[in-house]
Amino acid sequence: MRAKALSIACLAAMIVGCVTTPQLTVSGVPVSGEVRVLSVAAIEAAIAGMRTDLPEIRSQQLTGIQVIDSKTVYLTYREPAKRIDIKHVVQRVRGRWHYTFEIVV
């Protein structure tokens, strides 16, 4: 009986450990999708590439980051005083991140 109680306690501890794993955030924004295929530095480089290619995005608030694969990231921005989030596509081309001027609908 004691062994059964111990194994249930171990199982419960494992489940809690899985549930309470902190979510990855970059620049204070949660990252979703295939988070394991890119490093934090790569995600930061994608954000920097977006800001370089579309400087006016700097006045907007980054609200979401979704990693699609090792070469594609969706960055969601919200314009000041608006409640609409716009998801932009950023891709890595020859090792550098660039905004594709595409929006995900």
Residue % of the chain over a pLDDT of 70: 79
| Host domain of residue 100 | 23-104
Q: Is residue 70 part of a domain?
A: yes
The predicted pLDDT at position 79 comes to 87
CA distance 35 to 44: 13
Residue spans of alpha helices (H) in 20-76: 40-53
Residue spans of alpha helices (H) in the chain: 2-19, 40-53
Q: Is residue 62 part of a domain?
A: yes
Q: Is residue 63 part of a domain?
A: yes
Task: Please enumerate, as own/partner, the contacts of 46-51 that have beta carbons within 8 Å and a separation of 24 or more.
Answer: 46/73, 46/75, 46/90, 46/92, 46/97, 47/75, 47/90, 48/97, 49/90, 49/96, 49/97, 49/98, 49/99, 50/75, 50/88, 50/90, 50/97, 50/99
Q: Is residue 73 part of a domain?
A: yes
The predicted pLDDT at position 18 comes to 55
Q: Is residue 28 part of a domain?
A: yes
The predicted pLDDT at position 83 comes to 84
Q: Is residue 14 part of a domain?
A: no
pTM of the model: 0.78
Q: Is residue 32 part of a domain?
A: yes
Q: Tell me which residue has tokens 């006016």.
A: 56
* pLDDT tens profile 5-53: 446 665 555 665 555 557 899 999 999 999 999 999 999 999 999 999 9
Q: How many distinct structural domains can be found in the chain? A: 1
The predicted pLDDT at position 74 comes to 98
* pLDDT tens profile 57-85: 999 999 999 999 999 999 999 988 888 89
Q: Is residue 16 part of a domain?
A: no
